[in-house]
Structure formats: C-alpha cells, structure tokens
Amino acid sequence: MFNVGRPTIREALRTLSVLGLIESNPGFKGSVVKKIDLGQYLDAMGEQFAWMIQADKKSFAEMSEARKYIELGIAHSVSQNASNKEIEKLNNYITKMETCSDNVNKYFSIAMDFHFKLAELSRNKIFYMTWKLFYDICLKGYPILTAMYPDQIPRLLEVNRLMLEAIKSKDPEKIDKAMKRHAEEELPIDIEI
C-alpha cells in the first residue's frame, strides 16, 4: 500500500516508542498509541524539532518573528494568571540583568531564564512548550545570539523592564504597546557571521 518494507515500519515504530508516543508490546498486542496530552506530545517532539532547525542567522530571524506573537500571548496570560506576588518576584530577574549589563553572556543567560519564567507563569502548556523550543534553539546557537547584540544590553534591558511594568499594570493596551517595542528591539541586528 505505501511501498515500504517491514524494516522501515519497525524503525518508525521504534522511533515513536522512544518518543513515548506509542507502547510496543511484542506478540499479541502489537503497538498501541498511548494516551497523552498535548504537552507530553510537544515535549517529545520539541527536542527533535530543535535539532532539525539550524542555529544560524536566518533561523534566528524567523524565530524572532514568531516570538513576537508568542510572547505577546505570554505577556497577556501572565498578567491574568500569575499572582501579584509571582509578578513581583520577576523584578529579581531585572535586578540580576542590571548587575551584569557589561557581560553579554551572563545577561543573555538571565534574560532567557526571565522569559522562560514568564512562559511558566502564563499557566499555558503550549506557551511553555513553545518557549522551551525557542530556549533549546537559542542554547544551540548561543555564540550567534551573543554576537548579534554585542553592545545592545542597555537597550534590551530597558525593553524587558518596560514589558514587566506593563504586565504588572494588567492593562491590555500597555502590554500590547510594550510588547511591540520589545519585538522591535529584539529583532536580530544585521551582522556578518
């Protein structure tokens, strides 16, 4: 029917089993699709997907374009779903970013943790898993990422600060405005790699 041999089918089933999407039982039962939620599926596929994407300048530009929409949703969700105490704790990330504004590597490490925490506080599995994918891709291409913003830390710090203030306000218009600025500032700078 599909013009593939048994070894190809076995390998596909083995791959799905390793990803945790099916349960293989040799003999009578055969292979059975597991009951998993979307978060488990995205977790299983996310790692594979991160390795399929090249960590290059073009990929970071495409990722930045997608991020502006994902992070807008995350910011709105955090403003609605996170407690005031949780939102206030996000100030610690801003303070840490301020202390290392002269070290691009340390800054980006903390900034990525800040955004990862925002995704977690959104209380939305899809936002969280999508950000995890972005995070994995960024880690893979960390040297490229730091080269894109060598002297831009004060500017990036300011937009992160504005974003947090907008989230604290819980005002949708302020969040939209801050996230638009955040997206504009975080678009990759044209560099030679």
Report yes or no on 9 lying in a domain. yes
Task: Tell me the two tokens of residue 1.
Answer: 């029917």
Token pair 């990525």: residue = 112
Give the residue, 58 or 162, on which the prediction is more confident: 162
Q: What is the pLDDT of residue 26?
A: 74
On whether both 131 and 54 belong to a single domain, the answer is yes
- Which residue segment(s) compose the domain that 28 sits in? 1-35
> What per-residue confidence (pLDDT) applies to 54?
63
pLDDT score of 138 more than 80: no
Q: Is residue 89, in this structure, part of any structural domain at all? A: yes
Neighbours of 151 (CB within 10 A): 8
User: Bridge-partner residues for 90, per DSSP?
Assistant: none
In a domain, 6, yes or no: yes
Tokens of 124: 């939305």
181 shares its domain with 161: yes
Residues 102 and 45 in one domain: yes
pLDDT at 125: 87
Structure tokens at 9: 């089918």
Domain contains 193: no
On whether both 105 and 14 belong to a single domain, the answer is no
Residue 30 shares a structural domain with residue 117 = no
Higher pLDDT, 97 or 141: 97
Same structural domain, 26 and 42:
no
Answer whether residue 3 shows pLDDT above 70.
yes
Q: What is the pLDDT of residue 186?
A: 65
Task: Count the domains in the chain.
Answer: 2
Average pLDDT over residues 35-54: 64
Higher confidence at residue 134 or residue 187? Answer: 134
Higher pLDDT, 113 or 133: 113
Q: What is the mean pLDDT of residues 36-61?
A: 65
- pLDDT, average across residues 70-82: 95
Same domain flag for 143 and 76: yes
Find how far residue 54's CA is from the centre of its chain: 16
Asked whether residue 108 is domain-assigned, the answer is yes
9 and 78 share one domain = no
In a domain, 173, yes or no: yes
Question: 189 CB contacts (<8 Å, ≥6 apart)?
Answer: 148, 149, 152
Across the range 158-170, mean pLDDT stands at 95
Tell whether 116 and 30 lie within a shared domain. no
- CATH number assigned to the domain comprising residue 82: 1.20.120.530
Round to whole Å and give the CA distance between 8 and 56. 32
